[in-house]
Structure 1
Amino acid sequence: MFLPGTRIEIVNPDLPRGQFSAVLFDFDGTLSLVREGWPEVMIPMMVDILAETPQAEPREALSEHVEEFVMRLNGKQTIYQMIHLAEEVGKRGGTAKEPLEYKQQYHDLLWERVSGRVSGLKDGSVEAEILTVPGSRELLEQLQAAGCDLYLASGTDHQFVADELAALKLDAYFGPHVYGAQDEYKSFSKKMIIEKLMAENSLGDGGLLGFGDGYVEIEEIKRVGGIAVGVASDEKHREGINEWKRNRLMRAGADIIIPDYRERDALLAYLTNGADV
């Protein structure tokens, strides 16, 4: 069901409302569109690598298989997708590189796609608004004004997250609470960040509100009794629902599904003062 007159889909009407004081955001696809199109870089790269192995399937079959595991692992650190790639190379009789080498190869290819966006943001030739999910800045302002503590956790490397967050001029909303992937990948996970902020803020059920467009953050937010808002953003067109994302977010356990933050006033009214469907 939907909030009247909106595209805000209420999946779980029994969620605990009016109790959250901390808000967690994913970054890519949830706030930032700087890396829009990343699967179009990662998946073909992996298919090319696997196609060179001795026991490779036809490219069409490889593409379907790679897309499945890449998107299933989306939300975790990028290294996990590369670890899986190395395993797939071995299964097909190939000699795998170290996952960090594959990760660097991917970053180099992705940078060819997004470097102009980042440099344009920094020199002012590209407006931040067109590279953010619509309504992001306004939502952050409203949450900050309401006294909420804002956190950001991303599976993208911390150095890139911090740089792109600053380029979008969104860094001031999060202060020191920005967390990204590390080369020592076992020292970071969204699960660890969520558990840390839950403990530091002594949060109970309903105390954490989370926004994300991937499976991992939704699942982890729900695991600690938080409210999970699935952002089924259409990153290419900046309008409407991405049905593939919506289906994944529903399966992950999202309480609410939204396309973006254009209807943030209605969303916050529902979450805070109990406006009903």
Structure 2
Amino acid sequence: MHTIKAVLFDFDGTISTLRAGWEEVMRPFMKESITGLHALSMEQEAALNQEIDAYIDHSTGIQTIYQMKWLAHTVHEKGWNERVLSEWEYKAEYNRRLLERVTDRIGKLRKGELQPEDFLIRGAAEFVRELHRRGVELYVASGTDHPDVVQEAEVLGLASFFNEIAGAPVGRAECSKEKVLRELIETKGLTGEELAVIGDGKVEIQLGKEAGGLALGLASNEELREGMNPVKERRLRTAGADWISGDFGNPQAWFERLGV
């Protein structure tokens, strides 16, 4: 029986939808970087599309720099584009494109044209607040750059409820999720039974399981912000999630799972 004292949340797609649609930015960016000006046959194009889609699905939840490392390797390996950049250069350009969309959303939130609820998974804010009220320590770990995660948690009105928010360190390739979990176990003396991980990607689910913690999957439909996404559900099941829900609209079921 788990007696949960600390919960580690993934952020994007688990709590926030500010970055929803990142795949729609990454997919064409990867394709154009790999092909350059090279004209592909229909078979080559279909195979490349499939390869990119499979990689994005496989890598959801990891730090962006590792995805860009794959991109740099693939550009070099295919040899269609003579211009091969470093993973950091690819990351800078991908971030620039993605942040155009995110910055616009944050601007509308700051002006009051949109509300935090427009970018939160159903029931997420209430769930976080209630866990905090019940004395559970709350942490965020994300593959998104640290300053960006902090800003996005603040603009959604949730930053104050977390003991720590850990994004990817700028300019360094480190797994923030692994680091936070390790620190919780080593410095706070928590056992696996006292830890829960909640996320929509297989990375955090697998890390939670490895730590002996409770791994709860959030198979969110980011477009609707509620209900189950079957693709995520399959991914989370394969990763070994102990339980899966589509949103936080059923808080009692979550509290029962956590034993709080």
TM-score where L is the length of structure 2:
0.93
CA shift at 1:86, angstroms? Answer: 0.3
Could you tell me which of 22, 25, 29 is aligned with 1:41?
Answer: 25
Q: Distance in 2 between matches of 1:53 and 1:96?
A: 13
Please list every run of 5 or more consecutive structure 1 residues that lacks an aligned counterpart in the other structure: 1-15
- The one-letter code sitting in structure 2 at the alignment partner of 1:35 is R
Q: What corresponds to 1:185 in structure 2?
A: 172
Q: What corresponds to 2:62 in structure 1?
A: 76
- Of 42-51 and 53-62, more deviation after overlay is shown by 53-62
User: Is the counterpart of residue 60 in structure 1 residue 74 in structure 2?
Assistant: no
Q: What corresponds to 1:263 in structure 2?
A: 250
Q: Deviations over 1:231-264 (max 9, x none)?
A: 0000011231100000000111100100000001
Q: What corresponds to 1:238 in structure 2?
A: 225
SS at match of 2:192: coil
Q: Deviations over 1:125-180 (max 9, x none)?
A: 111011011111111111111111110000000111011111101100114x1100
User: Is the counterpart of residue 113 in structure 1 residue 105 in structure 2?
Assistant: no
Q: Distance in 2 between matches of 1:60 and 1:109?
A: 24
Q: What corresponds to 1:194 in structure 2?
A: 181
Aligned 1:1-277 pairs, distance under 5 A: 16-17=1-2, 19-52=3-36, 58-93=44-79, 94-175=82-163, 177-272=164-259
- The one-letter code sitting in structure 1 at the alignment partner of 2:62 is K
- Of 103-112 and 254-263, more deviation after overlay is shown by 103-112
CA shift at 1:201, angstroms? Answer: 2.1
1:77–1:185 contact (8 Å) kept in structure 2: no
CA RMSD of the aligned region, Å?
A: 1.7
1:75–1:215 contact (8 Å) kept in structure 2: yes
1:44–1:63 contact (8 Å) kept in structure 2: no
Comparing both chains, which one has the higher relative contact order based on Cα–Cα distances under 8 Å and sequence gaps of 6 or more?
1
Q: Distance in 1 between matches of 2:139 and 2:98?
A: 26
Q: 1:104 to 1:146 in 2, by over 3 A?
A: same
- The one-letter code sitting in structure 2 at the alignment partner of 1:139 is F
- The one-letter code sitting in structure 2 at the alignment partner of 1:75 is G
Task: From the two aligned structures, give the one with the greater helix fraction.
Answer: 2
Q: Deviations over 1:164-198 (max 9, x none)?
A: 111101100114x1100123433443112211111
- The one-letter code sitting in structure 2 at the alignment partner of 1:27 is F
Q: Distance in 1 between matches of 2:152 and 2:95?
A: 14
In the TM superposition, structure 1's runs of 4+ consecutive aligned residues that sit over 4 Å from their partners are: 53-57
1:53–1:89 contact (8 Å) kept in structure 2: no
Q: Distance in 2 between matches of 1:89 and 1:97?
A: 9
Q: Deviations over 1:4-51 (max 9, x none)?
A: xxxxxxxxxxxx33x110010000000000011010110111011112
- The one-letter code sitting in structure 2 at the alignment partner of 1:134 is R
Please list every run of 5 or more consecutive structure 2 residues that lacks an aligned counterpart in the other structure: none
Q: 1:44 to 1:229 in 2, by over 3 A?
A: same
Aligned pair count? 256
TM-score where L is the length of structure 1:
0.88
1:56–1:92 contact (8 Å) kept in structure 2: no
Q: Distance in 1 between matches of 2:236 and 2:37?
A: 34
CA shift at 1:214, angstroms? Answer: 0.5
